Amino acid sequence: MLNIFESKGNLIVHSKEPYNAEPPLDRLRSAFITAQADFYVRSHGNIPQLDADEHRLVVDGLVERSLNLSMTELRTCFPHRTVTAVMQCAGNRRADMLQVAEVSGDPWAPGAIGNAEWTGVALSDVLQAAGATDNADLHVAFASCDEIEMEGEGRFLYGASIPMAKAVSPEVILAFAMNGEDLAPAHGFPLRVVVPGFAGVRSPKWLSRITVQAQPSDNHMQQRDYKMLPSNVTADTVDWTKGVTINDMPINAAICEPSPHATLKPGLTTIRGYAVATAREIVRVDISGDGGRTWSLAELEGSSPWSWTFWHASLDLSKGEHELVVRAWDSAGQTQPAAPDDTWNFKGYLSAAWHRVRVSVV
C-alpha cells in the first residue's frame, strides 16, 4: 500500500505529524467532486490503520438498547444513502487572518475544503434501531480511535458531538465510502461521520462509539477548541466556556485561478473559483478586477444541496498590477465581510472575508 506522502503526493503539506495537507487550488477547482487523492487532510493525532473485519461500532447512552455492530452488520442491516457534500475545516483560509495578526494553527489557504459523494447509512436509522429518543435537548457524542497529544491536555482519543436536532436530519450519515471507493485511511477508514453544513471537526473519522447524552461531548475538541471568540480574546485570556461552539459554517468563496502573483497577458482572463453556503443556496457571485471598487457578475456552474457552487468570470485586464476580488451571496441576501479584520480571532476560525488575489499584467 502507498504511504500517505505517496498517496497524497499532490498536496501542500503543512505538517507531517500530525499529517495536515491541502491541494493546490487549480487542482481543487478541476473537478466538482474532489478525488480522494486531492482531498485535504486535517488530523490532530495519528492516522490509525484499522482492520474493517475487526472494527466495531458501539451505540450506547440514552438508548433503549445498546448496539455493538460489525462493519458487515452496519452495511447489511441499514439502507445505504449517498450524499454529495462539502467537508470544510473551520480553519479554511486561516492564512488571510494571519495577515491581520498572529493566529494559532496551520496557515490554511482556501484548500481546506472538498466536495465528495459520501455513501453510508443514515445516523438517524442507527439511532432509531437503538431506540434513542429524539428529544431535541439531547446530544449525540462520537468517539474515535486516533490518539492526540496536546500540551496541558496529555493524551486522549478524538471526540466531538452534535445536537440531536441535526443528528436526526437525513443528510447526516455514517460513511464507509467516498466517491464510490472505500474511505482512504487518512479520511477515516473504515467508518466516519459526515455532517453536511457543519465544520469538519463535527465529522469524526475512525468512528468507534456513538453515545446519546444530555450534554455535549466533554472532549477537548468540543470544550476547549473550535469555538467562536471575539477579537479581544487571546490565548492567555480565553475562557472557553464563553465561546460559541462552531457548528454551521458561514458563506464563503475563493478564487482558485489565477494563482496569487501570477503574471498574465493583457486582455481577457478567466477567473475560476468556488463559493459555498452549505444549508443555503449561492445565488450570486461578484468579481472585481480593481480591489473591490467595481464589480461584475460571475457565471454560476450549478450546484446541489450541501455542495459547493463553482463559478467563472471573464475580466478584461490592462497592463499593470490588479487585485482580483470575489464575494458571494446566499438566498437570504447574506454576503461576506469585506476584510479579515472584521472577524479576526486568535484561533483563525471562520475566515470568510472577500478573497483577494494580486496579479501582474505585463
Ligand X SMILES: Nc1nc2c(c(=O)[nH]1)N[C@H]1C(S)=C(S)[C@@H](COP(=O)(O)O)O[C@H]1N2
Cβ proximity to Mo ion, 44 vs 322, nearer residue: 44
Instruction: Scan residues 42-71 and list those touching ligand X (CB under 6 A).
Output: 42-44
Cβ proximity to ligand X, 87 vs 271, nearer residue: 87
- Least distance CB 186 / ligand X (angstroms): 6
Cβ proximity to ligand X, 157 vs 264, nearer residue: 157
Are 174 and 123 spatial neighbours (Cβ–Cβ below 8 Å)? yes
Are 123 and 198 spatial neighbours (Cβ–Cβ below 8 Å)? no
Position 150: which residue type? M
Are 185 and 47 spatial neighbours (Cβ–Cβ below 8 Å)? yes
State yes or no: residue 110 binds Mo ion (CB under 5 A). no
Question: Which of these segments, 34-42, 68-76, 157-165, 175-183, binds Mo ion (CB under 5 A)?
Answer: 34-42
213 conformational bin, left if phi > 0, alpha if psi -120 to 50, beta if neither? beta
Cβ proximity to ligand X, 90 vs 212, nearer residue: 90
Q: 275 pairs with which residues across the strands? A: 253, 309
Q: Give me the phi and psi of 345, to 5 degrees please.
A: -145, 155
For the record, the C-alpha cell of 352 comes out as: 470568510
Residue whose CB is nearest to ligand X in the complex, by number:
200
State yes or no: residue 330 binds ligand X (CB under 6 A). no
State yes or no: residue 96 binds ligand X (CB under 6 A). no
Position 255: which residue type? I
Cβ proximity to ligand X, 88 vs 269, nearer residue: 88
State yes or no: residue 187 binds ligand X (CB under 6 A). yes
CA 55 distance to own-chain centroid: 25
Show Cβ contacts of residue 128 under 8 Å, excluding neighbours closer than 6 positions.
none
> E strand or H helix at 106, and its extent?
none
State yes or no: residue 89 binds ligand X (CB under 6 A). yes
Instruction: Scan residues 200-259 and list those touching Mo ion (CB under 5 A).
Output: 200-201
Question: Which of these segments, 52-60, 100-108, 201-209, 307-315, binds ligand X (CB under 6 A)?
Answer: 201-209
State yes or no: residue 303 binds ligand X (CB under 6 A). no
Instruction: Scan residues 132-161 and list those touching ligand X (CB under 6 A).
Output: 144, 146, 158
Tell the residue number behind the cell numbers 502507498, with chain if given: 2
Q: Report d(CA 341, CA 334) in Å as an integer.
A: 18
How many residues are there in the chain? Answer: 362
DSSP state of 198: B
Binding residue (CB under 5 A) for Mo ion from 42, 187, 192, 209: 42
State yes or no: residue 201 binds ligand X (CB under 6 A). yes
**Which residues contact Mo ion (rule: CB under 5 A)?**
42, 89, 200-201
Contact set with ligand X (CB under 6 A): 39-44, 87, 89, 144, 146, 158, 187, 200-201, 203-206
